[in-house]
Structure 1
Amino acid sequence: MISVASYNIRKSVGTDWKRDPLRIIDILKEVDADIIALQEVDRRFGSRTASLSPELISEHSEYEAISFGMRERSLGWHGNTILHRKGVRVINTMTLTLPALEPRGAVLADFDTGSERIRIIGLHLGLVDLWRRRQAQSVLHQLDVLDEALPTVIMGDLNQWTTEGGCLAHFSENHQVIAPGPSFHSSRPVLSFDRIITTTDITVRESGVHRSELARKGSDHLPVWARLEIGVNAASMAKTA
């Protein structure tokens, strides 16, 4: 069994408009997943400095951050990065460039947990439906041409307003699309922007939205999570979109 989570941290700026990276770390510790995809980890302008530094993460939590940043002080690739619990071995990493009107990308990491291997994709799709669909197709194509296929989890902020169609239609052709529940806006969540998508050789045993009091203040999104079991021809036990 492995647990995963995804969280758009809005550059560590909470609903009180205070930038508080230690609060984000406390929320991540509450979620307590083995692997976490983060979105909007870097500040938007200038040097794109990480709002959550790898050193701070390592010092104050059981996690280590994979640095995908192209700039010296950045952590993410277009704001995306992946954290993993210390002791989980990283086998391979890469960045994916996505078609967009504005810069968009995704990050990939392959892990060896000791008992299983798993591929994680973290992403943040665009605001325009046409480009979200193109970005979904691009991610799936780039995965198809990789030399090695692994049980795969794709997760992040899809910015998809509807519960079906759009980019979800592309992902659901050969994957399970999990809607853990409404995650936006954190003060009164009504939209399921944040999704977890898996290949069909993964069983989703449980999934949900982390709704603690601290999480309601940490960002405009709430973290989403899932507990997974890797196995051939596994059938999902969670609600799919």
Structure 2
Amino acid sequence: MQLTFASYNIHKGVGTDRRRDPERIMAVLREIDADVIALQEADERFGERASVLSRGLLDDSPWRVVPVARRPRSIGWHGNALLVRRHMDVVHGEALELPTLEPRGAACGEIVHEGVPFRVIGTHLDLSGLRRRDQIRSLLAYLARTRDVPTVIMGDFNQWGHASGAMREFGKGWQMIAPGASFPSRRPIARLDRIVASKQWRNGKADVHRTALAAVASDHLPISASLTLPDK
């Protein structure tokens, strides 16, 4: 089973031209054409935490939302949302709390595809770095309490070093995928966006999605990775 996973901080739909354009974000997602997508900053920060991407846009897309929202107009949790292909079976969706000095969380989904279960978590870690280690430890503790299935964790980790700092918390059982600089989108210099895969996955091609549209749609470029579960 081979799937393409993508992570994209959509900056609440506001591009580098300071225009809020959800349709432009959706056009970038169609360019990537991933099977599973983790979005960050997908909901407005205040008020009803309404989704940046309208239900109409999502209904006309190849993906559906993994249900983690705790507010009726939201598609995520603290801005983290998960999209999966419509033909995939979503067994469970859950909003995860993370230790924080500022609003942070994670969206978790259990998916079955071609009869194979797997788990995906989308998150946006602490900007200051003060609680980043604690947040990763919290995610790993959650996984330790749940059934052991192939897992992918992805998002904006706000971590500059590829395998240093808070990333050391993952240990040897995890594969770190940081395909390249993705921030800021016009002239990227930082690998803040990551995909971390459990040992069951075989890592294939990983990429930063650099197109003219992506360079202006958000302040981050999307990243993607092709992952395969070998036959048993």
> Which TM-score band applies after superposition, normalised by the shorter structure?
over 0.9
Give 5+ residue unaligned stretches, structure 2: none
Match of 2:154, SS? strand
Please tell me whether the aligned partners of residues 96 and 108 of structure 2 are also in contact (alpha carbons under 8 angstroms): yes
Aligned to 2:119: 119
Structure 1 residues 92-107: aligned runs within 5 Å: 92-107=92-107
**8 Å contact from structure 1 (residues 201, 232) kept in 2:** no
Distance 1:99 1:34 in 2: 30
After superposition, residues 111-190 of structure 1 pair within 5 angstroms as 111-146=111-146, 148-190=147-189
> What SS class does the counterpart of residue 127 from structure 2 fall into?
coil
Task: Provide the TM-score with structure 2 as the length reference.
Answer: 0.95
Q: What CA distance in whole angstroms lies between the structure 2 residues aligned with 1:115 and 1:68?
A: 23
1:28-47 equivalent positions in 2, closer than 5 A: 28-47=29-48
Q: Distance in 2 between matches of 1:161 and 1:65?
A: 29
Any unmatched runs of 5+ in structure 1? 234-241
Q: Does 1:210 pair with 2:209?
A: yes
Question: Structure 2: how far apart are the matches of 1:116 and 1:33?
Answer: 18
Distance 1:115 1:72, change over 3 A: closer
1:28 match: secondary structure:
helix
Matches within 5 A, 1:6-45: 6-45=7-46
Question: Is 1:56 the equivalent of 2:85?
Answer: no
User: 1:117: Cα distance to partner?
Assistant: 2.1
Deviation at 1:75, TM superposition (A): 1.4
| Distance in 2, Cα, partners of 1:67 & 1:79 | 13
d(CA) in 2 for partners of 1:199 and 1:187? 31
1:197 shift after superposition: 0.2
Per-residue CA deviation, residues 95-120 of structure 1 (Å, 9 max, x unaligned), is 11000001211111111111522110
Q: What is the identity percentage for the equivalent residue pairs of Structure 1 and Structure 2? A: 45
C-alpha distance in 2, partners of 1:6/1:75? 16
1:82 is aligned to 2:87: no
Corresponding residue for 1:238?
Answer: none
- Please report the TM-score for the alignment, with normalisation by the length of structure 1: 0.92
What amino acid does structure 2 have at the position aligned with 1:139?
L
Displacement of 1:232: 7.5
Runs of 4+ with deviation above 6 angstroms: none
Q: Distance in 2 between matches of 1:187 and 1:72?
A: 34
CA distance in 2, matches of 1:144, 1:53: 35
Q: Secondary structure at the match of 1:129?
A: coil
**Cα-to-partner distance string for 1:179-229 (whole Å, 9 max, x where unaligned):** 111100001001000000000110011101000110001100000000010
CA contact under 8 A between 1:108 and 1:119: conserved in structure 2? yes
Please identify, of 165-174 and 40-49, the stretch whose mean Cα deviation from structure 2 is larger: 165-174
Aligned length: 231
Calculate the aligned-residue CA RMSD, in Å: 1.4
Aligned residues of 1:181 and 1:192 also touching (Cα < 8 A): yes
